[in-house]
Structure 1
Amino acid sequence: MLRLIGYFFGIGVMLALLAAAGVAVYVGHLTQDLPDYEVLASYEPPVTTRVHAADGSLMAEFARQRRLYLPIQAVPDRVKAAFLSAEDKNFYTHPGVDAEGIVRAALLLAKGGPMQGASTITQQVAKNFLLTNERSIERKIKEAVLSFRIEQAYSKDRILELYLNEIYLGFVYPGQGAYGIAAAALTYFDKSVNELTVSEAAYLAALPKGPTNYHPFRNTERALERRNWVIGQMVENGYVTKEEGDKARAEPLGVSSRRNGNYLFAGDYFTEDVRRELIARYGQDALYEGGLSVRTTLDPKLQLMARKALQNGLIKYDRLRGYRGPKSQVDVSGDWGAAVGEVKGLS
């Protein structure tokens, strides 16, 4: 009997070793042509060029991706806490892959709960910078191996910095898509990152799972629910007190409803001339990816006065020539900066 047990035990060990060897060969085959993770050391993202008037007010932005790079040292603790609570609470302790998170997500799914992503921030960096969005076992294996290697090569703060500056966080209005937390803070709240409140930071941290799912105006209730969940995680993880969490949850989303923030549209033609001049001097790549900061000579008050004078002059000229009434009505208030009532008052 003992010999029979020993025989089957030996067979089991042999099969286990063969299976392990097979897995090792398979993983080795998948990972022999992995992307070079060392490129992350010299990563320079495309950054938005901003054009300012003489008084420093923002006139225009030019970019292929709306992004403002922010070193990790400049990111407030409450903002880091919000993203860590929402995306990877064990970030500073796991080696790149969070076994606890994988088990937790699997158990929740087995109980009939919603499917939760178990990817760590490091895995998201590996995917966003080095891999594709393909949904397959092969890609997940490559992602895990790259994550281990990235953790060995870079500090946790460097990995978090890459993540916070690369992640896509959606838009309030089409054409204003934000990449990274600095651009997102301006897009959603018309604020710099260090001005964000706990509730605002929590809302931004709610967006990586699907910005359109938590759009502040189209899906307000879902956005509030997700933001409040993030705040709850911040309380649970000890980043904010219960009182601070309750106060933050009671606040509205507070997203800015201004389509273009503080942009000065009275200088449209002027900024177009500036754009052409910058391309002529530095090239398109520098303009749309180089993060130039341009201070012009335009005086906003004088520009608005000049535009108003032109508007009034054209209206006066038309009246003197005998206004014949409109052939069709077009709302030009957005172009002229005039109230609709002023335009309609001519008829």
Structure 2
Amino acid sequence: MIFLGLAGAFVYVVWDVSKGLPDTKQLASYEPPVMTRIHASDGSLLAEYASERRLFVPIVAVPRKLIEAYISAEDKTFYQHAGLDWRGIAAAGIRYVNVKLTGKGDIVGASTITQQVAKNFLLSNERTLERKLREAIIVQRIETAFNKDQILELYLNEIYLGLNSYGVAAASLNYFGKSLNDLTLEEVAYLAALPKAQTTTIRSSTRPARSSAATGCSSRCTTTATSPSRR
């Protein structure tokens, strides 16, 4: 009876916190906002209209080296987990306790790429148990609604990378004045390091110095596990 009571309470809590969240059908029909661009007859850009600088690039058009760099920097087991990296969560928990006890080191989160995509669908950024439950529910729905390449496509086109840039294509233009295909390996590593960079660095109006995170990413991104065959 106690077990049934606990199970019933859990089901109720999940139902209650999931109210108002998009279901899998709504998620599957989601289209990220993009910027309106007006070109002259010769193809030159005349004007751009948007509150945020966004340029959508299909995953098949994103250079492989850029994909590998972001997976290496953000979520090495992206193609293996089902949205939540339990080993990463456990490691982050242990590190959190160690930092609190010793006062040394930095507290590091364990958000997967799917979790970072899920945050786009949540209105609140508060760190509460209810929000974490809502995030976990959205993560599972995203993993059901999209395949891994589609999730990665959303991530690479939605993530904020500073200089009012949303997505890697906009960031590539704003930081380097280049299209994604023209980026050097060092520039790819720099962009991949931005999500973990300090806020003050990301929001700088000029291109900041190459960070140690970018250096590490540059050495790792060519050895990152690649995507399995597309579904």
Relative to the length of structure 1, the TM-score reads 0.56
**Residue pairs, 1:70-89, within 5 angstroms:** 70-89=57-76
For 1:111, what is the secondary structure of its paired residue?
A: helix
Give the C-alpha shift of residue 185 in structure 1.
Answer: 0.7
* Pairs aligned (count): 220
The 1:238–1:90 alpha-carbon spacing in structure 2 relative to 1, beyond 3 Å, is closer
The 1:37–1:135 alpha-carbon spacing in structure 2 relative to 1, beyond 3 Å, is farther
1:151 aligns with 2:156: no
1:135 aligns with 2:127: yes
Give the C-alpha shift of residue 189 in structure 1.
Answer: 0.7
Give the C-alpha shift of residue 105 in structure 1.
Answer: 1.1
| Per-residue deviation, residues 118-162 of structure 1 (Å, max 9, x unmatched) | 111111211113443232111111111121122122111111111
**Residue pairs, 1:24-63, within 5 angstroms:** 24-53=11-40, 55-63=42-50
Give the C-alpha shift of residue 236 in structure 1.
Answer: 6.1
Tell me, in whole angstroms, the C-alpha distance in 2 between the residues paired with 1:19 and 1:47: 45
Give the C-alpha shift of residue 58 in structure 1.
Answer: 3.3
* 1:196 corresponding residue in structure 2: 183
Tell me, in whole angstroms, the C-alpha distance in 1 between the residues paired with 2:42 and 2:21: 50
**Residue pairs, 1:272-283, within 5 angstroms:** none
* 1:327 corresponding residue in structure 2: none
Contact in 1 for aligned 2:27/2:145 (Cα 8 Å): no
1:122 aligns with 2:109: no
Tell me, in whole angstroms, the C-alpha distance in 2 between the residues paired with 1:217 and 1:46: 24
For 1:170, what is the secondary structure of its paired residue?
A: coil
Tell me, in whole angstroms, the C-alpha distance in 2 between the residues paired with 1:39 and 1:100: 30
Give the C-alpha shift of residue 29 in structure 1.
Answer: 2.6
Tell me, in whole angstroms, the C-alpha distance in 2 between the residues paired with 1:76 and 1:89: 18
Tell me, in whole angstroms, the C-alpha distance in 1 between the residues paired with 2:207 and 2:92: 25
* 1:65 corresponding residue in structure 2: 52
Could you say which structure has the larger radius of gyration?
A: 1
1:170 aligns with 2:153: no
Tell me, in whole angstroms, the C-alpha distance in 2 between the residues paired with 1:51 and 1:211: 34
Relative to the length of structure 2, the TM-score reads 0.81
Tell me, in whole angstroms, the C-alpha distance in 2 between the residues paired with 1:43 and 1:92: 22
The 1:136–1:59 alpha-carbon spacing in structure 2 relative to 1, beyond 3 Å, is same
Contact in 2 for aligned 1:82/1:201 (Cα 8 Å): yes
For 2:133, what is the secondary structure of its paired residue?
A: helix
Give the C-alpha shift of residue 106 in structure 1.
Answer: 1.4
1:103 aligns with 2:90: yes
Tell me, in whole angstroms, the C-alpha distance in 2 between the residues paired with 1:26 and 1:40: 22
Tell me, in whole angstroms, the C-alpha distance in 2 between the residues paired with 1:137 and 1:218: 38
Tell me, in whole angstroms, the C-alpha distance in 1 between the residues paired with 2:207 and 2:183: 21
Give unmatched runs, 5+ long, in structure 1: 1-13, 172-176, 240-347
Tell me, in whole angstroms, the C-alpha distance in 1 between the residues paired with 2:51 and 2:198: 19
Tell which deviates more after alignment, 144-153 or 225-234: 225-234
Tell me, in whole angstroms, the C-alpha distance in 2 between the residues paired with 1:93 and 1:188: 32
RMSD of Structure 2 on Structure 1 (CA): 2.7
Contact in 2 for aligned 1:70/1:182 (Cα 8 Å): yes
Give the C-alpha shift of residue 82 in structure 1.
Answer: 1.3
| Per-residue deviation, residues 311-330 of structure 1 (Å, max 9, x unmatched) | xxxxxxxxxxxxxxxxxxxx
Tell me, in whole angstroms, the C-alpha distance in 2 between the residues paired with 1:15 and 1:235: 53
* 1:303 corresponding residue in structure 2: none
Contact in 1 for aligned 2:73/2:217 (Cα 8 Å): yes
Contact in 1 for aligned 2:76/2:225 (Cα 8 Å): no
* 2:212 corresponding residue in structure 1: 225
For 2:195, what is the secondary structure of its paired residue?
A: coil
